[in-house]
Amino acid sequence: MTKKLLLIAGSTLLLTGCGTTGPIPPFGHTLTQDWITADFDGQQGSESISRTNLADIVFNNKGEIIGWYVKNYAGSPYIKQNADGTFDFTALQNERGIINLVNGPALHIQAEGLDPQAPVTAQDPELLNNEDANEQVAVFRYQQGGVPITKTVTIHTRNYLINVKTEVGGGIQNYQMLLPGLGNEGNPRVRALPQVGEVATVQGAGVTSVENIRYAAMQHVPPNQMSPAILVRPEGGTRIDAQMTGGSNALLTLGMTGNGSVDVYGGRNELIHLKQTGFYGMPGVFDPNWFGRISLGIVSLMEFMHRLVGDWGIVILLIAVLLRLVMWPVMQAQARTTAKMQVLQPKMKEIQDRYKDAKDLESQRAMQMEMAALYKEHNFNPAGCLSSFLPLPVLIALWSTIRNFEFDSGFLWMPDLAIPDPLWILPVLYLIANMAQLWLSTRRTPEMFKQQAFMYLFFVYFALIFPAGVSIYLIISTAIGILQQFIVNKQVEAELARAGQTVQKTAPAAAAKRKNSRVIDAPKD
């Protein structure tokens, strides 16, 4: 019951929260992080495109981001490769249902003494791809009006974080880096927190400056886990003064001096990603609800276990076992209800069939009385299934946590636990586990098995698009649930068998006692 509710809730979240944007999930297709050099914008020269499971980022020859496309489903192949080796960027260029974080060239450098109309001479960028370190690095060098500028961009491919280091020559000490956003979001909330002081916020028309920031952010309002966000923070001792512009042309202008280093978060405004990149703890960034607080506790537990065992796949296995053990008493009550329901189902159907043609109020009351007598005789409480709702918030929070958690490694044959199993082995195991559990809970009513089996085939669709980590958890949890139900079935059957024997022994003894007794007539007057 709990698993069904979890899947229904997860399916609803998936369809309503994710299905409204972006193409269909990749069904196990996984992308290897790489760089593409191609003409993206149709203008002279080529662009450098970073392609990862989480985003496709397009840079021009000045190291400016002209397209920052966040994926709603990790591994979604927005970029198609043609048979002749060329690339098709139509999906990104049309931006239909795809989040583009930027409204113009981001990471653009401007300064007094740097003529924006001066010609640009750019070298070919150095593009490095380090899959072992989950990083991509690009070094852009160009001159504008005789001023040399170098940008070193490091993309952390397992999360939404990039780092940008800047060096501006030509005697220029003070300069600004521009971040226009949030793409399709016309009126984001723009805010910044100084090193000392309170959060300053702009929404709608207006400009506000904050000196020496801890962070600055542009976020969708109201926030949800699928909405876009750009957050920045100084790194490596860099001082940043932020000017915030609100409204449809929202803009962060970051003022820096000398060589600068800034971390930029560009992705979904989602709690787990923000925590993993270190932005969540900053005041005003994210205010989680109680589901989110459960998720934060789960993340802390996962990180603690990972420090002990060093493998995220094993962590998920341990989480599934631990959660089942913690919830064992509650699930035990539900398993007993399910087991008794199997035994009583034929008798309940017999009562229902006897009254199926009787629609009058008196007949319905009589049926309810017979049902109540049956429940009382077998000490069965149909409300016991409500116990399955108790662990549901934790289960949904766990599902959401694993789904959004970015792992830094794969497990067994799976290259990444944050994307679907590319070999589809987990969906098959998931189907087998669910069919086994369904058979165990309906073995006395084959027609019910046939009715519900089709529903489980439908849920295989979600197993194909769930991240592998989620699928592993569901399979292990279901397997433990099967074991628990099997044990309880045996216990309940033994209890009911003993109860039947007691009734049989009591009835003949009572009859014999009546047979051997003598009736003494009352004395006559």
Q: Please choose, from the candidates 207, 227, 219, the residue with its C-alpha nearest in 3D space to the C-alpha of residue 284.
A: 219
- When pLDDT is cut at 50, 70 and 90, the band that residue 271 belongs to is confident
| pLDDT confidence of residue 30 | 58
Cα separation, 2 vs 225, in Å, equals: 24
| pLDDT confidence of residue 32 | 73
Structure tokens at 170: 């030509």
Selected residue with higher pLDDT from 495 and 313: 313
3-state secondary structure of 29: coil
Q: Please choose, from the candidates 132, 127, 139, the residue with its C-alpha nearest in 3D space to the C-alpha of residue 35.
A: 127
- When pLDDT is cut at 50, 70 and 90, the band that residue 475 belongs to is confident
Q: How far is CA 476 from CA 37, 406, 472, in A?
A: 43, 20, 6
Does residue 22 carry a pLDDT above 70? no
| DSSP, res 519 | P
The letter for the amino acid at 459 is F
The letter for the amino acid at 190 is V
Does residue 360 carry a pLDDT above 90? no
Selected residue with higher pLDDT from 77 and 516: 77
Cα separation, 288 vs 401, in Å, equals: 13
Point out the least confidently predicted range of 124-133, 214-223, 372-381.
372-381
| pLDDT confidence of residue 487 | 74
- When pLDDT is cut at 50, 70 and 90, the band that residue 5 belongs to is very low
Does residue 108 carry a pLDDT above 90? yes
For 235, other C-beta atoms within 10 Å of its C-beta total 15
User: Using one digit for the tens of pLDDT, what is the confidence trace for 368-387?
Assistant: 777 777 666 666 665 545 44
Residues with Cβ within 8 Å of residue 379, at least 6 apart in sequence: none
Which strands sit side by side in the sheet containing 174-180, from one edge to the other? 108-110, 174-180, 251-257, 241-245, 207-210
- When pLDDT is cut at 50, 70 and 90, the band that residue 31 belongs to is low
Point out the least confidently predicted range of 223-232, 268-277, 348-357.
348-357
Question: Do 179 and 251 form a contact (C-beta atoms < 8 A)?
Answer: yes
| DSSP, res 466 | S
For 492, other C-beta atoms within 10 Å of its C-beta total 20
Q: What is the mean pLDDT of residues 452-473?
A: 73
- When pLDDT is cut at 50, 70 and 90, the band that residue 103 belongs to is confident
Does residue 188 carry a pLDDT above 50? yes
Selected residue with higher pLDDT from 152 and 404: 152
% of residues, the chain, pLDDT over 90 = 25
Rg (CA), the chain: 32
Q: What is the mean pLDDT of residues 320-329?
A: 77
- When pLDDT is cut at 50, 70 and 90, the band that residue 406 belongs to is confident
Cα separation, 229 vs 52, in Å, equals: 18
Cα separation, 333 vs 338, in Å, equals: 9
| pLDDT confidence of residue 253 | 94
Q: What is the DSSP string of 93-141?
A: HHTSS-EE-BSS-BTEEE-TT--TTS-EEEPPPEEEEETTTTEEEEEEE
User: Using one digit for the tens of pLDDT, what is the confidence trace for 431-445?
Assistant: 888 777 777 766 666
Structure tokens at 485: 């139900």
Cα separation, 417 vs 53, in Å, equals: 12
- When pLDDT is cut at 50, 70 and 90, the band that residue 342 belongs to is low
**Bridge partners for 229 per DSSP:** 219, 267
Does residue 503 carry a pLDDT above 60? no
Cα separation, 167 vs 38, in Å, equals: 26
- When pLDDT is cut at 50, 70 and 90, the band that residue 263 belongs to is very high
Selected residue with higher pLDDT from 259 and 5: 259
Does residue 66 carry a pLDDT above 90? yes
Does residue 228 carry a pLDDT above 80? yes
Cα separation, 33 vs 135, in Å, equals: 9
| pLDDT confidence of residue 501 | 46
Point out the least confidently predicted range of 17-31, 301-315, 486-500.
17-31
Please state the separation of Cα 118 from the chain's center in Å.
47
Whole-structure pTM value: 0.74
| pLDDT confidence of residue 56 | 93
| pLDDT confidence of residue 7 | 46
Secondary structure, 3-state, 154-206: EEECCCCEEEEEEEECCCCCEEEEEEEECCCCCCCEEEEEECCCCCEEECCCC
Cα separation, 66 vs 484, in Å, equals: 55
Phi/psi-derived region of residue 348, left when phi > 0, alpha when psi is between -120 and 50, beta in every other case: alpha
Report the half-sphere exposure of 175 (CA within 13 A, side-chain side): 26
Phi/psi-derived region of residue 173, left when phi > 0, alpha when psi is between -120 and 50, beta in every other case: alpha
| pLDDT confidence of residue 21 | 34
- When pLDDT is cut at 50, 70 and 90, the band that residue 338 belongs to is low
Selected residue with higher pLDDT from 207 and 390: 207
Q: What is the mean pLDDT of residues 142-154?
A: 93
Cα separation, 263 vs 155, in Å, equals: 10
For 139, other C-beta atoms within 10 Å of its C-beta total 16
Q: Please choose, from the candidates 457, 431, 443, the residue with its C-alpha nearest in 3D space to the C-alpha of residue 489.
A: 443
Cα separation, 270 vs 72, in Å, equals: 11
Cα separation, 138 vs 150, in Å, equals: 10
| pLDDT confidence of residue 13 | 42
% of residues, the chain, pLDDT over 70 = 72
Cα separation, 271 vs 160, in Å, equals: 12
Point out the least confidently predicted range of 129-143, 293-307, 322-336.
322-336
For 196, other C-beta atoms within 10 Å of its C-beta total 8
3-state secondary structure of 223: coil
Does residue 184 carry a pLDDT above 80? no
Helix (H) / strand (E) element for 345: namely helix 328-354
Q: What is the mean pLDDT of residues 333-351?
A: 66
| pLDDT confidence of residue 210 | 93
| DSSP, res 523 | P
Does residue 223 carry a pLDDT above 70? no
| DSSP, res 524 | P
Does residue 17 carry a pLDDT above 50? no
- When pLDDT is cut at 50, 70 and 90, the band that residue 174 belongs to is very high
Locate tokens 């040399």: which residue? Answer: 148
For 396, other C-beta atoms within 10 Å of its C-beta total 18
For 247, other C-beta atoms within 10 Å of its C-beta total 16
Q: What is the mean pLDDT of residues 235-256?
A: 91
| pLDDT confidence of residue 107 | 95
